[in-house]
A and B are shown apart, each in its own frame.
Chain A
C-alpha cells in the first residue's frame, strides 16, 4: 500500500513537472507580466505595461483559432502599405514606362540592327526543339504573369476608371487565378531552361571584349562571341537565374496561404515579389525588343531553331566557327544538313 502510494506520488510529481514544462511558455512570469503585476501594486489601473504588450505585436492568449489571432496589433501592414502604395508603385511604374519610351526612341533613332552581309540561305541549327519549347513555355507564362500582375498592381488606377467596378473586378479575379496557377508552371519552365542553358552561359574570357565594346550596341560593330554573348549571359544570370527564381520563390510564399504563414512573412514576400517582378519585367522589355524587331534575324533562331550563316557569323562568330568545324563533311560537300531544309 505504502509502496503504491510512493509510486503514485512519483507519477503525479512527474506529470506535474511535465505539465509545468509544457505550460511554461503560456504561464511564464515574463518580464512584461512581472512589470504589469508590479504596476498594479504601485499604480492600480495603470495599464501601461499591458498597452506596451498590445503594441508589441506579440501573440497572446485567445480561444479563437486562426493565423495570428492572438496578436492584437501587427504593425508591419502599415510599412507594407506605405512601400507598396508608395515607392514600389511609383518608381516601378516610372521605370517600366521609361524603358518602353527608351526602346521606342532607340528604335526611332538607331533602327533595327541589320545584317551587314547578304543572307546565304544556308542555315545552322541554333536551338533544338527542347530548348525552344523550354524558352517559349517560359516566355509565354512570363508574359501571362506580367500582364496579370500589372493588372493587380496598377489596374485600380489605370483600368478601373475605364472599365467600371463590375467589369474590372471580373478581369481582376481572372487575372488573380490565372496568375496563381500559371506561376508554378513558370517556375518549372525556368528550372528546365536553366538546366538546358547553363553550360553555354558560363562566362568566358572573350566576354571581356564584349564589355569593352559595350556589345557594339551603339557603334554597330559586331563583337565576336561564343554561343551566347555577355549581354545574353547577363540576362540569363540576372533575369532568369536571379530575378525569376527570386520572384518565383516569393510568389510561392504568397500562393500557398494553406501553410498559415504569418503576416510579416507575407508582407515581406510581397515586397520582394513586386520589386523583383518590376525589375525583371522592365529588363524583359529590352530582351523582347532585341529578340524581335530590334535585330534582323534574331527571332528566327528561337522561332524555327535555325539561323542564317551570315547572322551566325556576324553575331556569334566563335560559335559559328565551332558549328562549321563540327560538321566539316557536310560543309565540304556543300550540302545543307537535312533538318535545315525548312
Chain B
C-alpha cells in the first residue's frame, strides 16, 4: 500500500497560488477556510523562496493525539482524516498542529467555531465514497476516483507533488541530481564553502 505524502520543492514554487485556488474551488471549501496556503520567505529580496503548505498527514499526528473525542483516523494510505459528525469544535487540533492545517469556519465568542475543516488529501471522509454527504462535508474524493490531490495535479511548475512517498522521493532525488548541486549543497560545503573556493580566496577574506 502506498504511503501518501505531499512534497513542495522550494526551488520550483513560483507563488502563483494555483494550488490554493484549485483546492478551494474543487472542494467548495467553507468561507474563511483555506485548506492550503503559500508562504513566501524573504519576499522581494534575492534568495526569496515560496512553499505551499497544508495538512502534512503526519505519521504521529498531533491533532489526532489531542482530539478529546478521537474524531481523527488514518487511512491505509496514511492519509489523516476526521469525522465532522464527531467534531465538537474545541480547537485543540489547531493548538497542536505545527502547520496550521486545522481551521474553523468561524471564530465566534464562547468558543463557537463550527466543525473543523482541513486538507483531506482529496480523500473525502468517513461517509460513502463520492456520496453527496461526503462532498458537502469534506469535498471531492479524488483518491476514490483513482486521481491524486488536485493542488499537486494543477501545479504549473510541478513544485508541489502529492502521491506515493516512494515515487515522490525518487522524483525529488532525480531533481536534486539533475540540478547538479546535490553533493555540495549539504555537508562539507555547507560548513566550509565550495570545494573549489578556498584556494582562490584570500586569507581571512572568506565570504560569510
Contact = CB atoms under 8 A, between A and B. Distances in A.
A273 to B, nearest CB: 12
B103 interface: yes
B22 interface: no
Contacts of A61: 39-41, 43
Contacts of B17: 63
Contacts of A45: 11, 179, 181, 185
A134 interface: no
A203 to B, nearest CB: 38
B37, B53, B62, B100, most chain A CB atoms within 10 A: B100
Nearest to B46: A37
Interface of A is mostly: helix
Nearest to B36: A64
A47 B181 CA distance: 12
Contacts of B90: 152, 176
B66 interface: yes
Nearest to B189: A43
A50 B41 contact: yes
A48 B10 contact: no
A324 interface: no
Interface string B179-190: 101001110011
A156 B107 contact: no
Given A257-B111, A258-B108, A40 B46 contact: yes
Interface of B is mostly: loop
A64 B41 contact: no
B146 interface: no
B86 A72 contact: no
A43 B111 contact: no
Contacts of B197: 42
Contacts of A62: 37-40
Contacts, number: 193
A68 B43 contact: no
B194 A169 contact: no
A176 B86 contact: no
Contact of A165 (B20, B70, B91, B94): B70
Interface residues of B, number: 64
Given A42-B193, A72-B51, A27 B110 contact: no
A173 B114 CA distance: 11
A75 to B, nearest CB: 6
Nearest to B207: A42
A168 B88 CA distance: 11
B85 A169 contact: yes
Contacts of B66: 80-81, 84-85
Contacts of A176: 88-90, 111
A270 interface: yes
B45 A33 contact: yes
Contacts of B83: 165
Given A42-B193, A42-B207, A62-B40, A49 B98 contact: no
B100 A69 contact: yes
A271 to B, nearest CB: 10
Interface stretch (A12-20, A207-215, A216-224, A259-267): A259-267
Interface in B87-129: 87-91, 94-100, 103-104, 107-113
A153 B189 CA distance: 49
A93 interface: no
Sorted from nearest, which 3 A-B pairs have the closest CB atoms?
A36-B47, A64-B37, A61-B43
8 contacts: A53-B42, A62-B40, A66-B103, A80-B95, A155-B69, A256-B111, A257-B113, A258-B109
Interface of B: 10-11, 17, 20, 32, 34, 37-47, 49, 51, 53, 62, 65-71, 83, 85-91, 94-100, 103-104, 107-113, 179, 181, 184-186, 189-190, 193-194, 197, 207-208
